Chains A and B, each alone.
Chain A
């Protein structure tokens, strides 16, 4: 079965004509997004997320590599019927009403008559905008604008959606509403590639995530696998001062409260060494608890461990 989105060695370099400087926005990106999943596509600003999306949409051209949507090369015009996009804080023609806007975008797919009418009804209901269908977009709140943005992307019932920061600038209620719409889309069998800085949202609704940093893919996998058991909490009592010092030196993080030593580490060898030290010192091992980290923990760790002078920019 073909992947919803697949890239192989996707690379994008931008060359500044004035300074002859080459910026590597994306480096050798190989990823697969499966059909019907919500795929969190994460990274700090400038990580290459938008560059990837723009390549998938055919708005910019890759320096190297290839990409497919549902098994079709992205340059195949049939892809445009399967793939839809909601940009970050887009401007739509705000002199139109939601209904007129959807009619315009439907017209770009050649949709008309009762088929388009029915589709508009469905979409307005899906995004909860039926009540405001006749109002001009300029009167809309940001949340309403975002919902119409999602509706326009769905006008031809595409199979794959690329959402770039769909909840940015929204209040918590509107964020939740957009999140619910995304979940509804998964229920309908859509594949969603979700770029967002709201990591708790991504953690809550994504099946898998990829984390990019400085144009490189740093991690990709199921959330459960990525977040589980990265870090282990080890608690022990009855240790000598020397054993306590040895453990606090070994561990990434530790604390000693009322004779109980609690150490945290994610390195298997260090975890074993700490346990060996406890046993060797005849201490009492109270607990060894694998700690599920949050997506934010993982994200921050990946982004911070990267050297500042990375390969993102090279002078030629």
Chain B
């Protein structure tokens, strides 16, 4: 009850914050790409539309999740809204979980709208080019959403003990390193220094492997199938990662002075 009241109010507040402008921008990019790249031939054109569309969804979602997670807690503390909530019978864990769920709901709404625009554009293009519509593209949209949730939990967790600037820097670092997981493995294999190897291994296991969340290349090329089981496994990975981050966040926030 308390968590849902917090989640719904957070969702309504975030929706109001013009994050939906991102969606308009995104829709613009989507529509533009389908015409700009019309000089490509046949299947190439569709690939570009799919690639740019899915990349746009990921970039917009990552940006929204990070901005929301970094700003959520300090914003309420600066404005003293948090005082009026935490002095009521709301535990700090309930407060954080409510805020997170409200943010996750906002991301879900954003992703659904972006995904729908994307699927409609792909559908129209497929029709024009006389090709079958590939609904497995939704796999990537679902995985991207889970990546946004992990990022939201990460930034929210960091905001319980670091400043917004530090939070932005650390989460950006995690975002970059997590996208280079395969490269890190290569470096570990080539490394001759035990210290470097241990350091990189810690980094590898600590930082979420964002590459797991991307089946975009496989889907767009259409050469290999993406099994549903893989999607489910990665979904579980994302949910577990989010849960762990939220447990750390609630523990850190319990002892934080506000």
Binding site for B on A (CB under 8 A): 54, 57-61, 77, 80-81, 83-93, 95-96, 104-105, 107-110, 112, 149, 152-153, 156
Q: A83-B87, A156-B88 are in contact. List 13 more A-B contacts (CB 8 A).
A: A54-B83, A60-B258, A61-B257, A77-B89, A90-B80, A91-B81, A93-B9, A93-B12, A93-B13, A93-B81, A96-B9, A110-B2, A112-B1
Residues on A with C-beta less than 8 A from B83 are 54, 57, 59, 85, 87, 90
User: Residues 67-101 of chain B: 1 if any A CB is under 8 Å from the residue's CB, otherwise 0?
Assistant: 00000000000011101111111100000000000
A77 to B258, CA, bound (A): 18
Complex CA gap A104/B83 in Å reads 15
Could you write out 12 A-B pairs with CB less than 8 Å apart? A57-B83, A58-B87, A77-B89, A81-B89, A83-B87, A84-B87, A89-B80, A93-B13, A105-B84, A108-B85, A108-B90, A112-B1
Please name all residues of chain A whose beta carbon is closer than 8 Å to the beta carbon of B16 when the two chains form the complex: 95
Kindly list chain B residues whose C-beta atoms are within 8 Å of the C-beta of A91. 79-81
Docked pose: A315 CA to B9 CA in angstroms: 44
Q: Which B residues lie at the A interface, using CB under 8 A?
A: 1-2, 4-6, 9, 12-13, 16, 79-81, 83-90, 257-258
Residue of B nearest to A106 (CB): B5
Contacts of A54 in B (CB 8 A): 83, 257-258
How far in angstroms is the closest Cβ of chain B from A14? 9
Q: Which residues on the B side are within 8 Å of A57 (C-beta)?
A: 83, 86-87
Q: State in angstroms the CA–CA spacing of A58 and B89 once bound together.
A: 11
Contact of A59 among B4, B5, B86, B88 (CB under 8 A): B86
Contact in complex: B9, A60 (CB < 8 Å): no
Measured in the bound complex, the distance between the Cα atoms of B12 and A104 in whole Å is 12
B81 close to A59 (CB less than 8 A): no
Query: Shortest beta-carbon distance, A180 to chain B, in Å?
Result: 22
Q: How far is B135's CA from A80's CA once the two chains are assembled, in angstroms?
A: 51
Interface centre among B4, B5, B12, B258, by most chain A C-beta atoms within 10 angstroms, is B5
Nearest A residue to B6, CB-CB:
A108
A96 to B86, CA, bound (A): 19
Closest to A60 in B: B257
Chain B residues with CB under 8 A of A110: 1-2
Of B5, B6, B79, B84, which is within 8 A of A85 by CB? Answer: B84
The smallest beta-carbon distance between B16 and chain A, in angstroms, is 5
3 A-B pairs with the lowest CB-CB distances in the bound complex, closest first: A107-B5, A91-B79, A60-B257
Residue in B2, B79, B87, B257 whose Cβ sees the most chain A Cβ within 10 Å: B87
Q: Are B80 and A87 in contact (CB under 8 A)?
A: yes
Which chain A residues border B85 with CB–CB below 8 Å?
108
- Say how far A85's CB is from chain B's closest CB, in angstroms: 5
Given contacts A61-B257, A93-B13, A80 and B80 within 8 Å (CB-CB): no
B251 vs chain A, min Cβ distance (A): 16
Give bound CA distance, A104 to B5, whole Å. Answer: 6
Is there contact, CB below 8 Å, between B88 and A109? yes
Least CB separation from A108: chain B residue: B88
Assembly CA distance A81 to B90 (angstroms): 11
Residue on B nearest A156 in the bound complex, by CB? B88
Task: Pick from B9, B79, B80, B87: contact of A104, CB below 8 A.
Answer: B9
* Closest-CB distance, A216 to chain B (whole angstroms): 21
A95/B12 in contact, CB under 8 A: yes
- Chain B minimum-CB-distance residue to A84: B87
